[in-house]
Structure 1
Amino acid sequence: MSIVVHDGATTSERSRVIEARWTGGGVAEIARQDAKGDLVQPAWTNGGTIARTVGRLYATSGAGGGSGACTATVVGVRTVVTAAHCVRTSAEGASARAAAWDQDLFFVPGYEGGAGPDGGFTVRRVRMAEDWQVDGRDVAMLEMNPGADGRNVSDVVGVQPISFTSEPGASTHFFGYPYTDRVLHCSGVSTWAAGKAMVRVPCLMGMGSSGGPYLLGDPAEGSVVAVNVSGDAENSYGTALGAFAQNLYQQSEHG
């Protein structure tokens, strides 16, 4: 299958413009929509690597639909993983290839209560599948620009481990920002879905948690094995990170 590579903020001037757009009011505008009580799942308060590496990914819709936010996680020296549909917007009835690229991507790790403790980072390049709407392809690796001080995002917040060979069947922890002012957490025993293209977890988050990590192992330190993409009345579903996601990751880290 084909990999699509899309440039984001490839100059320091473009990075400054994007950062100013979000820190100058864009983040606050979305924060006004956030739930501060009546949370669909408990807030995560146990710290660990996940509290620093998971965050909110902001974007302006390439289809002219305004601004929004998803969830994403630092998984490499300069790589953040999220769902592909968090960075492209489909037109009804149109092919995956014709989807509009979202603009002004801005990642805030550790977001809580309107800001992140370590500021935000712009996206230099996006890598994803050309047929990203197929089950098991809804994942994107984001190659991040360094911060204003020249440090990579991983130098600032650390790296969440990532696995491309894990099997479901154990307790799996799901983290996300379903339009909340802090990261939420739920867990359950995971199973395969969609012919081993997806991982199913019996807990729900809702809109805004797309791209959120599914972790196996210690909930604070475990490995990312899938990213959330959808849900129904009983379960959430994440794209399983297999060989294709590993290829995206390696290109993001070393390409």
Structure 2
Amino acid sequence: MTVALFVPCYIDQFYPHVAIATLQVLEKAGVTVVYPPKQTCCGQPMANSGFEHLTRGCNELFVKNFTGFDYIVCPSGSCALHVKQHLHDAENEKEAEHIRAHVYELTEFLTDIVQVEQWNARFPHKVGMHQSCHGQRGLALSHMSELVAEPFSKPGKLLSMVEGLEIVELSRTDECCGFGGTFCVAEEAVSVKMGKDRVNDHLSRGVEYIIGGDVSCLMHMDGILRRQKSKVQVKHIAEVLNSH
């Protein structure tokens, strides 16, 4: 299969090593990866701010860049969900429909499409897993605690295959970190308080790392950790799966 790698703006600009780790993880899984070099923003920031009607250019360019691939894989649940639910192109709607049906967040792709059952990686650390809202509630990457259902976690399944890694159980497994895209700008005080609560849940369990599938959430919590002068670090799950 041929997969197009979709790299969100903030990963491209601030965390390029996460994009590189994602590429290497996909290649490690035996996938042929192509990176469309002219890709830009998917339009999610505008849509989140109430300006989805202005994302036509983003949609058209996205369809142009990602048409013709078996799958599109993204190391971000929020961006993957936006494309899955909001991508439209009046002139090329058939292609847009194919993309919507074949765009996947990284851990979702590895568990559902590649169907990984074993993984060669080593990360001998005590970690907490942050379940980002878009991935959990939009893409169903893990169970929601308010539902009476069998617990599951696609990121957790992959992390359980990593040698030496210990996942701690948090007291509030699916609580929002407070980032919320433009919410952290419009409601700064509330966002920071939510972030502190989320970070403290991890710190109270003695973790060395906070692992997540969305760099935006990790970036928010990392800022809080740095201001607290904490030694705890954040890592994207692609980096952990790519560790040796």
TM-score for the superposition, normalised by structure 1: 0.28
TM-score for the superposition, normalised by structure 2: 0.29
User: Which structure is higher in helix share?
Assistant: 2
User: Which structure is higher in strand share?
Assistant: 1
- Rg bigger for which structure? 2
